[in-house]
C-alpha cells in the first residue's frame, strides 16, 4: 500500500519562506513521478510542480515558477517543496502526489488525473 504524508505547513507573513516535505512509503518503482498540488476553499485543486526521479528538469506552474523549488532525495522517499517569496494568494492546502506509471509524461502542465496516490495535505497560510 502506497502512503504519502505531508508536513511542514504553517503560517508565515508575505515574503517569507516555508519548506514542505512529503514522505512516501510502499512505492518501490525504479522511476517515480511526484508532484505538489494546492487547493483553496471554493477552488479546484491546482497543479504546482512536478519532478521525475530520473533527474530531468522539474516542471512548475507559471504562478510559482522562480519562487518555488521541488526536489527529492535519491531514494525517492522524500519529496520537498521549497517556497520563497510567499504571497497571500499562495494560501492553500498543499497536497503531495505520485504517479503509478513510470516517470513523468512530457507535458507543460498536469492535472489531478495524471496522478494516482495522494497525501492528506498540509495547510499553508500567508498573511499580508
103 sits in the region (left: phi over 0; alpha: psi -120 to 50; else beta) called: left
Question: Distance between CA 48 and CA 33 in Å, rounded?
Answer: 14
**58 secondary structure, DSSP code:** P
Question: Distance between CA 22 and CA 6 in Å, rounded?
Answer: 4
**Per-residue pLDDT tens over the stretch 7-34:** 999 999 999 999 999 999 988 777 889 9
pLDDT at 49: 97
Q: Which of 126, 42, 50, 36 is nearest to 84 (CA)?
A: 126
> Residue 102's pLDDT band (boundaries 50, 70, 90)?
confident
Instruction: Using the predicted structure, report yes or no on whether residue 61 has a pLDDT greater than 90.
Output: yes
Amino acid at each position: 500500500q502506497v502512503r504519502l504524508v505531508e508536513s511542514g505547513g504553517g503560517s508565515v507573513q508575505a515574503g517569507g519562506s516555508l519548506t514542505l516535505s512529503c514522505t512516501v512509503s510502499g512505492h518501490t518503482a525504479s522511476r517515480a513521478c511526484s508532484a505538489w498540488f494546492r487547493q483553496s476553499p471554493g477552488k479546484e485543486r491546482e497543479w504546482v510542480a512536478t519532478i521525475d526521479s530520473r533527474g530531468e528538469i522539474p516542471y512548475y506552474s507559471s504562478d510559482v515558477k522562480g519562487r518555488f523549488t521541488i526536489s527529492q532525495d535519491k531514494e525517492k522517499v522524500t519529496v520537498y517543496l521549497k517556497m520563497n517569496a510567499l504571497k497571500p494568494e499562495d494560501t492553500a492546502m498543499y497536497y503531495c502526489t505520485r504517479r503509478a506509471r513510470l516517470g513523468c509524461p512530457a507535458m507543460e502542465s498536469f492535472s489531478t488525473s495524471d496522478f494516482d496516490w495522494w497525501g492528506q495535505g498540509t495547510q499553508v497560510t500567508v498573511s499580508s
